[in-house]
């Protein structure tokens, strides 16, 4: 198919977040990225995560919070990191680089966060993906950013980078628009990100960091409730990557909704309903179909199952992250009030 014949990728946000359901647990997380000293200087990442329980009357109670502050060099090496509340295991990440390898390091060095179901782990797990895509923010601030990057890298290095992306995920399979030298036929940056916070539910999200200059944000929300009979857990989650615009507002490049149910006792996944809301390339939405391979798997084992069943071109990097985040649901369910 010629590039000019490709359909437009999805470009409609689902924001703002829904009002928190009664008798629910909501986990939200975010990483805000800034470059206080310019694009070639270390980037600053501020991660935050929070769990809120909402009772039958709509009253909310914060059950847990966590955050981190880190500096990362242009080659994605972590030079400083501190967690709040302080965690000695998190401090050992200094010297590590962002990317998939960092997730393995996290599993090895921070097992207590996984065992405790700590919301901080979700934010830390997102350092890898955020480090890879956050430089997109500069393209929204300086129109010649892409050309400057090409000039700095040189033609051969740019070619190697493009080749390294092939088959990384469903949308970047060989021959697809995202890995052709001429580029995709549609802009990857024309989708309004909307507002995460619902005016009718201002307590539905934790506070974000909004500094001056270019900025990037990765945000997640997971709502967990019991079904009417109490035999299943219902999950409504979202994920979005967005960047600040110089003229105000934000543009999104990735956004998924993901709804699921699982057996409350066995944690067997009963249904999975991913919805692509904003994606960069026309081919990207096709990745949703392979998620049905996870039906019947246990939710507390989903991180490993995603890696085994949806690796590379079998899955979408960002949808896989949304699926992996559901491993937090069993911990959230422990704090849910029993259905009446």
Helix locations, the chain, DSSP H: 88-91, 100-109, 111-116, 119-125, 127-133, 136-139, 145-153, 155-165, 302-309, 317-324, 329-334
Distance CA 172, CA 179 (A): 6
pLDDT of residue 180: 80
DSSP 194: -
Q: Which residue has the tokens 């990057």?
A: 149
pLDDT of residue 179: 81
Question: In the structure, what pLDDT confidence band is assigned to residue 154 with cuts at 50, 70 and 90?
Answer: low
Question: In the structure, what pLDDT confidence band is assigned to residue 100 with cuts at 50, 70 and 90?
Answer: confident
pLDDT of residue 320: 95
Question: In the structure, what pLDDT confidence band is assigned to residue 311 with cuts at 50, 70 and 90?
Answer: very high
Maximum mean pLDDT: which of 57-66, 154-163, 330-339: 57-66
pLDDT of residue 188: 78
Query: CB of 165 within 8 A of CB of 159?
Result: no
pLDDT of residue 158: 57
Question: Phi-psi region for residue 23, left (φ > 0), alpha (ψ -120 to 50) or beta?
Answer: left
């Amino acid at each position: 198919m010629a590039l000019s014949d490709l359909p437009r990728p999805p470009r409609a946000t689902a924001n703002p977040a829904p009002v928190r359901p009664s008798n629910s647990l909501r986990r939200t997380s975010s990483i805000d990225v800034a470059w206080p000293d310019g694009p070639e200087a270390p980037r600053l990442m501020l991660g935050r995560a929070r769990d809120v329980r909402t009772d039958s009357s709509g009253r909310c109670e914060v059950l847990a919070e966590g955050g981190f502050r880190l500096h990362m060099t242009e080659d994605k090496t972590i030079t400083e990191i501190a967690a709040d509340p302080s965690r000695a295991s998190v401090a050992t990440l200094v010297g590590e680089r962002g990317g998939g390898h960092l997730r393995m390091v996290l599993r090895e060095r921070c097992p207590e966060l996984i065992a405790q179901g700590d919301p901080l782990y979700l934010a830390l797990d997102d350092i890898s993906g955020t480090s890879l895509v956050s430089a997109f923010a500069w393209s929204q601030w300086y129109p010649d950013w892409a050309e400057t990057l090409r000039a700095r890298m040189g033609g051969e290095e740019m070619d190697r980078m493009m080749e390294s992306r092939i088959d990384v995920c469903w949308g970047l399979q060989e021959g697809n628009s995202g890995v052709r030298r001429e580029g995709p036929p549609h802009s990857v940056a024309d989708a309004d990100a909307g507002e995460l916070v619902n005016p009718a539910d201002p307590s539905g999200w934790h506070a974000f960091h909004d500094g001056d200059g270019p900025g990037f944000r990765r945000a997640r929300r997971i709502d967990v409730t019991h079904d009417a009979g109490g035999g299943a857990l219902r999950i409504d989650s979202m994920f979005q990557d967005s960047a600040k615009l110089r003229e105000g507002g934000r543009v999104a490049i990735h956004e998924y909704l993901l709804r699921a149910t699982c057996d409350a006792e066995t944690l067997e996944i009963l249904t999975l309903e991913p919805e692509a809301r904003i994606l960069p390339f026309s081919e990207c939405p096709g990745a949703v179909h392979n998620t049905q391979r996870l039906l019947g798997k246990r939710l507390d084992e989903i991180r490993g199952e995603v890696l085994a069943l949806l690796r590379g071109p079998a899955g979408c990097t960002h949808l896989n992250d949304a699926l992996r985040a559901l491993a937090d649901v069993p911990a959230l369910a422990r704090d849910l009030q029993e259905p009446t």
